[in-house]
Structures are given as C-alpha cells and as structure tokens.
Homo-oligomer: A and B are copies of this chain.
Amino acid sequence: MPNMNEKTNANYKARAEIIKALAHPSRLFIIDQITNGERNVQDLTCLVGADISTVSKHLAILKNAGIVKIDKRGAQVFYSIKVPCLLKFLPCVEAVLKNNVKERKACLK
C-alpha cells in the first residue's frame, strides 16, 4: 500500500487479527458466558454445543489474541476475560445491528 509503510501496515494487520478473534458467533457466545466469571472447557463445550476440540480451538484463538486468560487448576483449565474494555464495544455492535434491522424494515414499507 503506497501510503502505508511496512510498520503501519503490520499494525493494521495485527489489529485486524484481534478483531477477527471476536468475529465468530461461538466466540462471542463464549465471551458472554465468561463475562461474569471463569468457566472451564467442559462447561463451555456444553454451553456452546459443539465438539470439545472445536471449542478448545475457539478458546485458543481468544487466548492467542490476548482477549481471555487462563487459570489451570488440576487437569482443568478455566477461562476468563482479560480485557474488559472490549466488552464495552459489544453494546455498540448490538446498536448497529438494531439500526440495520430498523432500516431494512423501513425499506419494505
């Protein structure tokens, strides 16, 4: 990109990676589930309703992005939110969503 040097470009890429970690229904659901406290992989697997390996990979993506943190206790791994400021952003996403719905309804009148 002509007006973006290597460093700037890398920065946008890194930011996109973090946002990408949030951009999946199951991962958003997981984030909601651990908002008020930690949960282990087993419980999250049950809540999400997918294969445990799938959930484990979703959790790895969130952890790798620096969004959640873990606490190993025995054989269990408990996941919790690491970055509360990201949570403030979710209501805004919800607001965009509602506005989209409203606008699309308006088109049909």
Contact = CB atoms under 8 A, between A and B. Distances in A.
Interface residues on A, range: 35 or more
A2 B43 CA distance: 12
A4 B4 CA distance: 43
A59 interface: no
A77 interface: no
B16 A24 contact: yes
A26 to B, nearest CB: 8
A88 B92 contact: yes
A76 to B, nearest CB: 20
B94 A85 contact: no
Contacts of A24: 16
A52 to B, nearest CB: 14
B90 A15 contact: yes
Interface of A: 1-4, 9, 11-16, 18-20, 22-29, 46-50, 65-67, 83, 85-86, 88-90, 92-97, 99-100, 103
